[in-house]
Each structure stands twice: as C-alpha cells, then as structure tokens.
Amino acid sequence: MSGARAILLVDHGSRSAEANALLDEVARCVRERLPERRVAIAHLDLAAPGVAEAVDALVASGVREIVVMPYFLAPGQHGVRDIPALAERCAARHPGVRVRVAAPLGLHAGLVDAVLDRVREAEV
C-alpha cells in the first residue's frame, strides 16, 4: 500500500471497553464509505493505541498521507491544542509523511440531524 492515504480517528479514550469500541464502529463505517483509504483509530488517554503508536503503524504499512480527525464535538483543548501538537511530533518523526489535522466535529448539519433523530426516538 505504498503512498496510501489514511484517516486516523482520535477520541479521548475511556476505561470502558464499550465506549472505546464505539470508535472502532465509526472507523468501520468510514471504511465502508471510503474503501480506498486506510482508516485507523487512536485514543489520547486510558486506552491503546495512542496517537504515536497508530501513526507509526500506518507509516510502517506504507501510508504517506494521514488526516488526523479529532472525534470531539467541541473545539476544546484536545481538538485545538493537544491533537495538533501530537500530530506535529509524529510528522517530525516521519519525514516525507504528510500529517494534517481536521477540525473537530463542531457545528455540522449532520450532527444537528442526529440530535433531532435522537429527540424523535425519545418522544416515541
């Protein structure tokens, strides 16, 4: 998979295996929609793999472009400061690999639709 492109979904991480498994499910759904991309996950804390470990594995598999996607609703410290800093350190360790950071989920029409779906489900 030389020169491949990847998406790295990053959440906070949890002591709950069920909570961590949710990110695996999100990754599976993204893979189904973008089968040409490698899709991996990482957690900032409390669970493995960490961001550096996930980036190292992607690079070892031949990936040369990584978009790090903070799986956070709000642009708080993790999405705005911590994840970009980790991505920058990872990029410095892998010259020739392009590592970019996407914006956190934030205000997006798809999220508004999801909120409305959940409200409707609760009202039934």
pLDDT tens-place string over residues 35-85: 999 999 999 999 999 999 999 999 999 999 999 999 999 888 998 899 999
Choices 3.90.1150.110, 3.90.1150.10, 3.40.50.150, 3.40.50.1400: CATH for 4-123: 3.40.50.1400
**Residues 5-34: pLDDT tens digits?**
999 999 999 999 999 999 999 999 999 999
Report whether 73 contacts 43 (CB < 8 A): no
**For residue 109, what are its two tokens?**
């029409």
Whether the pTM exceeds 0.85: the reply is yes
Active site residues: 12
Under DSSP, is residue 60 helix (H, G, I), strand (E, B) or coil?
helix
Which pLDDT band holds residue 3 (cuts at 50, 70, 90)? low
Domain boundaries, the chain: 4-123
